A and B are shown apart, each in its own frame.
Chain A
């Protein structure tokens, strides 16, 4: 047990896998499809799934979107299909050259990182000009920045995206500091509620950690690195 009574991180709980599938996040791969479509990622782009877990998204991006997807995770991916390109690395020290990726996908991962600002700067480093950063994560819908920081610190032992939900104002500032411009920000809290509802239906609501904000939301954010107009697409030449 951790200090606040959370037996293990939510994403490691077998029940979450049972109700959320291999992706372990609201919306699953359908939501990833939607995000990739909205981001206008050119085919054949080299795309990083940051915090790839078992690699289900990497495999999906390669098979359904013809993207040259690769995965990075702090832990060695378990149960992943052989032959998929994975690397074990820290989000703050990615094993890619500067400006070498067309997109970085980061779903339910940023909120778990100890230094989100550093991770965003690292994403910016590996993205080519006009590259896309796709973020899907939990965020606080109704809490002041001060209260958010205080309560999140108090729950730091839980290591869950629920207890570490993002603060929108901080996220916007960190993205701007890293040299990325927000081109899309959407609320998809319905997906979070549906996942929580499935947990209730299977009788596992007791493993859901308490969120400091009381009103957690789920967002989709797409940012583009400075350098080319928002709607522009990459040219192969």
Chain B
């Protein structure tokens, strides 16, 4: 399955606090219950830490959780 672009905002000015590296878009796998989604999220190229913006967590991801739980 192709990688989904889930963010419309630009996070290119964010840096990893631990490494000082600029975050870059990277394919990330989200697992929820028995479902798996491959999405693109900003991540540190050195340590791999992934940024999940609050707007995504409380918006689309929360909506997906509700959908999969209700089914």
In the assembled complex, B19 has its CB within 8 A of some CB on chain A: no
Contact with A along B6-41 (1 / 0, CB 8 A): 101000000000000000000000000011010100
Please state if B1 and A28 are interface contacts (CB–CB under 8 Å).
yes
Find the A residue at minimum CB distance from B71: A193
Interface residues of A, count at CB 8 A: 16
Interface residues on chain B, size class? 10 to 19
- Number of residue pairs spanning A and B whose beta carbons lie under 8 angstroms apart: 43
In the assembled complex, A197 has its CB within 8 A of some CB on chain B: yes
Q: Which of B38-71 contact A (CB under 8 A)?
A: 39, 60-61, 63-64, 67-68, 71
Please state if B4 and A193 are interface contacts (CB–CB under 8 Å).
no
Out of B8, B64, B71, name the residue touching A200 (CB < 8 Å).
B64
Please state if B35 and A190 are interface contacts (CB–CB under 8 Å).
yes
Given contacts A19-B4, A202-B4, A203-B8, contact A197 B39 (CB under 8 A): no
CA distance A197 to B64 in the complex (A): 5
Please state if B60 and A203 are interface contacts (CB–CB under 8 Å).
yes
- Best-surrounded residue of A18, A190, A193, A196 (most CB of chain B within 10 A): A193
A72 to chain B, nearest CB (A): 27
Given contacts A189-B71, A190-B34, contact A201 B64 (CB under 8 A): yes
Contact with B along A184-216 (1 / 0, CB 8 A): 000001100110111011110100000000000
Please state if B35 and A201 are interface contacts (CB–CB under 8 Å).
no
CA distance A217 to B55 in the complex (A): 30
B32 to chain A, nearest CB (A): 8
CA distance A83 to B34 in the complex (A): 39
CA distance A127 to B7 in the complex (A): 48
A190 to chain B, nearest CB (A): 7
- Best-surrounded residue of A19, A198, A201, A205 (most CB of chain B within 10 A): A201
Contacts of B67 in A (CB 8 A): 193, 196-197, 200
Given contacts A19-B4, A201-B4, A202-B4, contact A193 B37 (CB under 8 A): no
Q: Which of A166-191 contact B (CB under 8 A)?
A: 189-190
In the assembled complex, A21 has its CB within 8 A of some CB on chain B: yes
Contacts of B71 in A (CB 8 A): 189-190, 193
Please state if B1 and A201 are interface contacts (CB–CB under 8 Å).
no
Please state if B68 and A200 are interface contacts (CB–CB under 8 Å).
no
CA distance A189 to B69 in the complex (A): 12
A-B contact pairs, 6 of them (CB 8 A): A21-B1, A28-B1, A189-B71, A190-B71, A193-B35, A194-B68
Write the residues of chain B forming the contact surface with A, with a CB cutoff of 8 angstroms. Answer: 1-2, 4-6, 8, 34-35, 37, 39, 60-61, 63-64, 67-68, 71
